[in-house]
């Protein structure tokens, strides 16, 4: 991944790592990364600022940044506007990475193909009315009984809707697929976005961290 330029304009801080017996702290200089910015909800809902993007197999944030903005350095913008704070768990795995993950998590492919849960199937009556939506997690013995033509009187036939099993593999694949659907800031707004982050970084005061004196007496 590219050098994290997001933090380059933030101040350094003196981070206290210990104190001597006189209570005098020892410091190291680190980048002030204790600021998690998020896009305001009212701005995020503005459709004119964003467009949907589907992450291709094996694409990393810097790959998407280069494809969209012509520069890898804006990968942090993609992570920020999608509220991704944990890249390893919130960014989709490639197909080969996903296979390795599933095998490690479930121990073997036989266990991976076992049932993870049961869920409903979307069901319509004869009039095309939705009886039960699909994808609702239910017990394995769940049964939904409904009339084929509600309110039609004498010739109503009762039908049943049963759940279907979802394997561990399918569950993990779906979860990974959901992560692949993100939004991206439209290219014409990237300069304004970066400038606003820069203005924010310059408004921060230089700070020092402290170590409690009680740390000396443990």
Mean pLDDT of the chain: 82
Structure tokens at 132: 């039960």
162: pLDDT strictly greater than 80? yes
Q: Is the dihedral of CA 100, 106, 107, 110 positive or negative?
A: negative
Kindly report the backbone phi and psi dihedral angles of residue 109, in degrees, each rounded to the nearest multiple of 5, phi listed first: -70, -25
| pLDDT interval class at 110 (50, 70, 90) | very high
Q: H-helix or E-strand containing 119? A: strand 115-119
Q: What are the helix (H) ranges across 15-162? A: 41-44, 61-69, 75-81, 87-90, 95-106, 109-112
By CB atoms closer than 10 A (0-12, 13-18, 19+), residue 89 is exposed
Kindly report the length of the chain.
218
Please write the tens of the pLDDT for every residue from 114-139.
999 999 999 998 888 898 999 999 99
- At 129 the pLDDT is 87
List 123's β-bridge partners, or say none: 132
pTM above 0.75, yes or no: no
Interval 193-214: pLDDT, tens = 888 877 777 776 665 555 444 4
**117 forms bridges with which residues in the sheet?**
166
Query: What pLDDT sits at residue 187?
Result: 92
Q: Inform me whether the pLDDT recorded for 185 exceeds 70.
A: yes
């Amino acid at each position: 991944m590219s050098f994290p330029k997001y933090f380059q304009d933030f101040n350094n801080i003196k981070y206290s790592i210990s104190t001597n017996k006189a209570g005098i702290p020892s410091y190291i200089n680190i980048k002030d990364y204790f600021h998690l910015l998020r896009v305001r909800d009212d701005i995020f809902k503005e459709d004119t600022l964003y467009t949907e993007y589907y992450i291709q197999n094996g694409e990393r944030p810097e790959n998407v940044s280069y494809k969209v903005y012509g520069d890898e350095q804006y990968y942090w913008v993609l992570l920020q506007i999608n509220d991704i704070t944990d890249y390893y768990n919130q960014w989709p795995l490639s197909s080969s990475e996903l296979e390795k993950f599933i095998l490690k998590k479930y121990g073997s492919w036989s266990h991976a193909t076992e049932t993870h849960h049961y869920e409903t199937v979307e069901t319509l009556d004869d009039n095309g009315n939705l009886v039960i939506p699909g994808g609702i997690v239910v017990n394995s013995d769940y049964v939904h009984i409904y009339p084929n033509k509600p309110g039609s009187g004498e010739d109503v036939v009762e039908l049943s809707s049963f759940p279907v099993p979802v394997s561990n593999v399918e569950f993990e694949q779906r979860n990974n697929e959901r992560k692949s659907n993100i939004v991206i800031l439209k290219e014409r707004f990237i300069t304004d976005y970066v400038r606003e982050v820069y203005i924010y970084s310059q408004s921060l005061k230089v700070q020092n961290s402290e170590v409690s004196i009680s740390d000396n007496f443990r």
